[in-house]
Each structure stands twice: as structure tokens, then as C-alpha cells.
Amino acid sequence: MNDFITTEAKKAYPLAVSIRRNLHMHPELSTKEFRSAKLVFDHLKELGLKPSYCCDKTGVTATIGNGAGKTAVIRADMDALPIHEETGLAFSSKVPGVMHACGHDMHTGILVGAAQALIACKDRWKGNAVLLFQPSEEMAPGGAVSMIREKAFPQSADAVFGLHVSTDHACGTVGLKSGPDYAGVVDFEVVVKVKGGHGAAPETTADPIVCSCAIIAQLQTLVSRESPSHEPCVVTVGTFHSGTKQNIIPTEAKFSGTIRALSDAHLEFLRVRLGEIVLAIAASYKAQVAVRYEKAYPPGYNDPALTQKAKQVLSKTLGEKKVHMREAPVMLAEDFAYYQKKVPGVYVHLGVRPLQKKSVPGIHTPFFVPCESAILTGIAVHVSLATDILSV
């Protein structure tokens, strides 16, 4: 079976590459993946499947049915990022300011290629392979919520699989992390308000900039002094806006960021303490303050038994030396976690770092260039994991 999977993955590779490059040249932002969805829809029809649109025609689902048996779900995301590409690739983005800087074009091409390979080896498995081509992974709360709400994700399934490109691992290899992997995220926005005044007379008013800076500095103690050392978490302030002129104390300052943790309980603790710190410091500066929260993504969790089985399966397909067990979780976030809350799942780190390089630009940068031959590995990963669940 392993040799057969490798052979069929190689046959599907040209189609997957073609789709990846097409999507890369025509990236679409979250909730706008109409062209991407149609491209996938048309290719699935050409493979003899009966795809369906969902999420206002920005998502696609299809089932490869093959008699009675278990159900395995495989997911790919399709949206791009608001980043202007600077890679110089021959198939660079033709859309100014929009780029597949997170590898979702690779994910989508890989899953279509896996569909072709799964169809080719139907005599070796039974059941249902459900394919999810999901929109809006990059926009909280994530397209997975819509896929579940619209029942594109099956009501009953035995396992769910996905993968994400990773420069942590060399091309041709994969990483697996049992248990917690990918953080849960809560977004926050803080607005500090005062009456404002002249820069020459700061004693006549409060200063929202000084107040905000004090809050931001104190928030770092949530990690360094209030969180257990064995529970990774991150507090990041990513935006800060205030003022119009150098000699004016403004009436308002606004900043926003994220808190990340690997459990719902720790995430809630950080959210509550963040609010308490904000209110206490604002009061000490005689400023009014408002805090807004939005839960973006839940923590990810790779089922330990399924992860161990995935290690065994992928070691046979790829080779033992090409499957790396990761000790530490990543603190990135993924709405794939919503699927993992419904059924046992494994989210694979797909190595895309060129073999001859130890360091390359990472995801979410305008210079991100994943090793394209990793598509072959990705196809083999999907087919191997799905057929193991659906084995005759």
C-alpha cells in the first residue's frame, strides 16, 4: 500500500502544482474566495465527484464514497492575506496587496491531489472520505465555524486530518505534536479616554498615552509573574493609535492585541486578569477606559492515540527519519481546533524549508517561498492517514 500511495501521489502531483500556482497568482482574502472555490469545484467535478458549495459559495465540500465503513474528514483552507508579495516568483500574485503568504494555496492543491489519489486506490479502502475546502481561516472566528454550522462537516466522523506548511521542518519531512498544539486566542481592544489638553500643561489633564504605556508594560507580567512556567502563553499588543500633534495631549488612546494559551481555563484566567489590570491602572491615572474582547480560536489538541498511529503510518510511507515528533507546541492559532473539538483529529506540520537552507522567511511575510515539492509529501500524508482509518 505504501508504494502504491507514493505512486499515486506522484501522478497527482502535476495537478496539485497547477492548482497551487493558479491560486497563488489569484489570491483572495477571507470571505472573498469565490474564484478559488469555483476552481476547486470544477476540478473535483472533472475527477468524477459531486461537489457542493457552502459558505455563500466561498467553500466547497465533496465526499468520496466507497461503500459501508468509517468516515475520515480531510480539510484545506483557501484564503490569502493582505500582504504585498515580494518573492519574485514567475507565478507571483497578480493582486496588489494580497498574497498567499500562509501557504493555503499549497494546502488546497494538496487536497485536490489527494482526492485524485484516493479515487485511484478505492479498491484498498472502504467508507467515506469527506473533503473540506474551507474559507476564512485567517478571519476570526474562522471559516470552520460556518462549515460546522452549515453541516458541511459531517454529523458523524471517525477522524479529521489537516496540515499546515512549516519552515521548522525541511522539505520532504513532517512534524507531529501529540496533545496541545496551536494556541487558543482572545483578541482584545482597550480605549483610554481623558479630557485632553495642551502639552505645556500636563497637570491640567490626564495623559492617555502615558496611561496606555503603563498598562501595556504591566500586561507583560501576566506571562512573567502570573502564569505557571509549564503553561506557555503569550500576550502581544499589535496596534497603538493616539494623538494628532506633538504639543497636544490627546483625548483618547487605543491599543489592541491578543492573548494566547493552550487551554480554555488558562485563556479565561488571562482574559479576566487583563481586564482587572487595565481598570486598576486607568483608575490610578484618572482616566476612563473600556475593554472589548473577542474569542477568536479555541486551543488545538491532537488526539494522542491518533497521533501515535499517524507516526506509525507516516513512518512507513515517508520513512522513519522523515517523521519528527515535536516536543513543544506552537503558539500560532488555527480554526482547525473547532473540528478537533468534535472528533479526534491530527494537524500535521508539513516541512517546506528547502533542504539546502537552515533559515528562510517564514509565513505571513512578503518573502515566503515554500518548497513546492512538499506538495508531493502533503498528498502522501493525506492519503496515508485517510486510508489507514478507512482500511479494508
Report, as residue numbers or ranges, the catalytic residues: 297, 372
Q: Are 125 and 71 in contact (CB under 8 A)?
A: no
What residues pair up with 180 in beta bridges, in sequence order?
301
**Backbone φ, ψ for residue 9 (5° rounding):** -65, -40
Cell readout for 247 is 504639543
Q: By 3-state DSSP, what share of the chain in percent is helix, strand and coil, each rounded to 5?
A: 35, 25, 35
Cell numbers linked to 392: 479494508
Residue 46 near residue 18, CB atoms below 8 Å: no
Distance separating alpha carbons of residues 279 and 258, to the nearest angstrom: 18
Q: To 5 degrees, how large is the angle CA 137–CA 358–CA 332? A: 25
CA pair distance 194, 291, nearest whole angstrom: 15
- Which run of H or E residues covers position 348? strand 345-353
Tell how strand 184-193 and strand 252-261 pair up.
antiparallel
